[in-house]
Amino acid sequence: MAVLDVDPLDPRRWHDDAVGNGDGGPDGGPDGGPGPGVGAGAAARPGGRGVSLAVAFTAAFALGGWKIGLQRLHDNSFFVHLTTGRWILDHGIPRHDMYSFSAPGTRFIAQSWLAELVYGALERSVGVIGIRLLMGVCSAMVMTALFRLALRCCNDRLRAAGLTLLAFAVVAAMWSERPLAFGLVGLAALVWMVEVPSSLMARSTVFALPVVMWLWANTHGSFALGYLYLGLHLGGRALDGARPTAGTRERALLRSGLVSFAVLFVNPYGISLITFPVGLLRRGGVLRDVVEWMSPDFHAQAGMAFAAFLTVAIVVLVGSSHRPSRRDLIVTLPFVLMSFWALRNLAIATIVMLPVVARAAARDRVAHEPDEVDEAPVANRFAGVVLVGLVGLAAIFTLQAVSQPSYDLRGYSVGAMRALVKQGSTSKDIFTTDANAGWLLAAHYPQFHVFMDDRYDMYPVSVINDYSKISAGDPSWAALLTKYHVKTVVWPRTRSLSQLLAQSPQWVRTYRDKSWVVYVRACPGCLA
């Protein structure tokens, strides 16, 4: 793909020092002049009355994000984080495992401790509905930022809306209440600071960037990708002729990035929290069996949504007269590759790619085109009516969320655990799936402990391997259950281990429903 062959610092270039911010003003171009399409992305025109169509579009995407974020709580990883949040409120920052009977006391870094603290505090102060409302705010912030960013970059409401709608489909498919939600907010803020130098946060990067990165690092390990993005941006700009040591904007980003990294060390775990992502990646051998670390399935919703976005992105980039700069290629290609490597990176890659694609989709403008002047009063009135309707829908969605149960527990062993409690089970150690263990801890800890949950970063590799063998019905399954003194198994009814337990005289089934079975040892005292 060709790269725009002009002086990178030429103020006439569409990708200037403002990286296509479309705002003009002091940071609009490398020489202080306006960028392309000045004012086209503004929410309302000077002298205009009423609500602009841009505001109505923005509100529509914010409402979509609000609706997605309000979904009922169901993610198994979230349940572990919620349980840890409760622990932090009662006992302080955890240092060792307290949930399992397979690896008790193992060193444990609650990398998302701040998010967990927020979960626990909201649950105790206003109930779990507070967590859903917070997720609604986070999702609305991300979608608002994406549309406004696309609008500033391509200077056309419909094109910006179309691209953002594709991005929305990817983010919505990947959205859950787990701490990655805070990571997406952090990434959106970082991309905004880089792509829109005229914004308030960008003009105060020496303060804003450290705050954003500290919050991000203490809520989710994806903060490392934020520094990768920033480094790729600075490297790409250097190839475009704007070296970090020379350009005012690049120098400010470099300085702020270094300050923010130094601030990260102020946390409960010190350097261990900073190196957490590296330690996790070293466990590639065990992560390959975790769904979110697998390559995306392009027959599933998230994979299809990303494939559609990527296809449109390629068509736009190839067919546009606004060819991507070296910086754009250097920034986007690694994130595209990471999206093919792990499902969890789809939303992250989409957020990084959106402004690049939006710039390529920008239509050329000349001064005083019809879209540059005030919108017609009829359009303003129509936008106002739409905005009122959107606010009404937001109120309806909120009331629905408040009035309905906040948990969606379909797929979890609710009935099986209720039966165990009713039977007065003397065994407090439960062997169950790592996903079901998350809910079990949230609902029954400390009464029950689990063999393993989804903290693949903490459990010894030997324990993870043993869990995999038992789960798969390996010939050693019975010996391994004996090794760990397992007396109670709560397992999906249709999986192979359930069939093996049914055929073994050492195990007795005490409960069965359409999804789950409970088996206990016929001679539990034999393990004493």
pTM for this model (two decimals)? 0.87
What is the structure's pLDDT at 383?
79
Q: Per-residue pLDDT for 129 more than 80? A: yes
- pLDDT (average), residues 450-476: 95
Q: Give tens-digit pLDDT for 61-71.
A: 999 999 999 99
pLDDT-above-70 percentage for the chain: 86
What is the structure's pLDDT at 44?
40
Q: Per-residue pLDDT for 245 more than 90? A: no
What is the structure's pLDDT at 526?
66
- pLDDT (average), residues 156-173: 96
Please provide residue 102's backbone torsions phi and psi, each rounded to the nearest 5 degrees.
Answer: -90, -25
Least confident of 238-247, 326-335, 439-448: 238-247
Residues 6+ positions from 462 with CB-CB distance below 8 Å:
none
pLDDT-derived band at 474 (thresholds 50, 70, 90) equals very high
Go through the chain and tell me how many residues it has. Answer: 528
ω into residue 446 within 30 of 0, thus cis? yes
pLDDT-derived band at 37 (thresholds 50, 70, 90) equals very low
Measured in whole angstroms, the distance separating CA 491 from the mean position of its chain's CA atoms is: 29
What is the structure's pLDDT at 320?
83
Q: Per-residue pLDDT for 514 more than 50? A: yes
Q: Give tens-digit pLDDT for 437-462.
A: 999 999 999 999 999 999 999 999 99
The CB-based long-range contact list for 372-378 (8 Å cut-off, 24+ gap) reads 372/39, 372/40, 373/45, 374/45, 374/46, 374/47, 374/48, 375/45, 375/48, 375/52, 375/53, 377/49, 377/50
Q: Give tens-digit pLDDT for 135-163.
A: 999 999 999 999 999 999 998 999 999 99
Per DSSP, the three-state class of 148 is helix
More confident residue, 55 or 20: 55
pLDDT-derived band at 512 (thresholds 50, 70, 90) equals very high
Residues 473 and 500: their CA atoms lie apart, in Å, by 7
Residues 458 and 98: their CA atoms lie apart, in Å, by 12
Q: Per-residue pLDDT for 231 more than 90? A: yes
The CB-based long-range contact list for 109-112 (8 Å cut-off, 24+ gap) reads 109/269, 109/272, 109/273, 109/276, 109/457, 109/458, 110/84, 111/220, 111/221, 111/269, 111/273, 111/276, 111/457, 112/81, 112/179, 112/218, 112/219, 112/220, 112/221
Residues 6+ positions from 145 with CB-CB distance below 8 Å:
188, 189, 191, 192
Q: Give tens-digit pLDDT for 260-278.
A: 999 999 999 999 999 999 8
| Exposure letters 274-298 (e unless 16+ CB within 10 A, then b) | bebbeebeebeebbeeeebbeebee
Q: Give tens-digit pLDDT for 72-88.
A: 999 999 999 999 999 99
Q: How many helices (H) and strands (E) in the chain?
A: 22, 5
Q: What is the mean pLDDT of the chain?
A: 87
What is the structure's pLDDT at 283?
83
pLDDT-above-90 percentage for the chain: 73
Q: Would you give the end-to-end CA distance of the chain in angstroms?
A: 69
Residues 114 and 91: their CA atoms lie apart, in Å, by 15
CA geometry: angle 454, 455, 457, nearest 5 deg? 135
What is the structure's pLDDT at 392?
94
Q: Per-residue pLDDT for 30 more than 50? A: no
Q: Per-residue pLDDT for 194 more than 60? A: yes
The partner residues of 367 in beta bridges, in order of sequence, read none
pLDDT-derived band at 25 (thresholds 50, 70, 90) equals very low
Please provide residue 343's backbone torsions phi and psi, each rounded to the nearest 5 degrees.
Answer: -55, -35
What is the structure's pLDDT at 365?
52
Q: Per-residue pLDDT for 523 more than 60? A: yes
Q: Do 350 and 170 form a contact (C-beta atoms < 8 A)? A: yes
Q: Per-residue pLDDT for 178 more than 80? A: yes
- pLDDT (average), residues 309-338: 92
- pLDDT (average), residues 159-171: 96
What is the structure's pLDDT at 399?
95
More confident residue, 431 or 7: 431
Residues 93 and 2: their CA atoms lie apart, in Å, by 52
| Exposure letters 168-196 (e unless 16+ CB within 10 A, then b) | bbbbbbbbbbbbbbbbbbbbbbbbbbbbb
Least confident of 12-26, 162-176, 204-218, 228-242: 12-26
Least confident of 114-118, 194-198, 513-517: 194-198
Q: Per-residue pLDDT for 28 more than 90? A: no
Q: Per-residue pLDDT for 507 more than 90? A: yes
To 10 degrees, the CA torsion angle through 6, 7, 10, 15? 60
What is the structure's pLDDT at 528?
55
Please provide residue 149's backbone torsions phi and psi, each rounded to the nearest 5 degrees.
Answer: -65, -45
Residues 484 and 493: their CA atoms lie apart, in Å, by 22
Look at residues 67, 216, 69 and name the one whose alpha carbon lies nearest to residue 139: 69
Six token digits for residue 527: 């393990």
What is the structure's pLDDT at 238?
92
Q: Do 517 and 509 form a contact (C-beta atoms < 8 A)? A: yes
* Bridging pattern class, strands 429-431 and 507-512: unpaired
- pLDDT (average), residues 358-365: 82
3-state secondary structure 469-513: HHHHCCCCHHHHHHHCCCCEEEEECCCHHHHHHHHCCCEEEEEEC
Six token digits for residue 442: 């949230």
Q: Do 329 and 168 form a contact (C-beta atoms < 8 A)? A: no
Q: Give tens-digit pLDDT for 272-318.
A: 999 999 888 888 788 877 888 889 999 999 999 999 999 999 999 99
Residues 8 and 183: their CA atoms lie apart, in Å, by 32
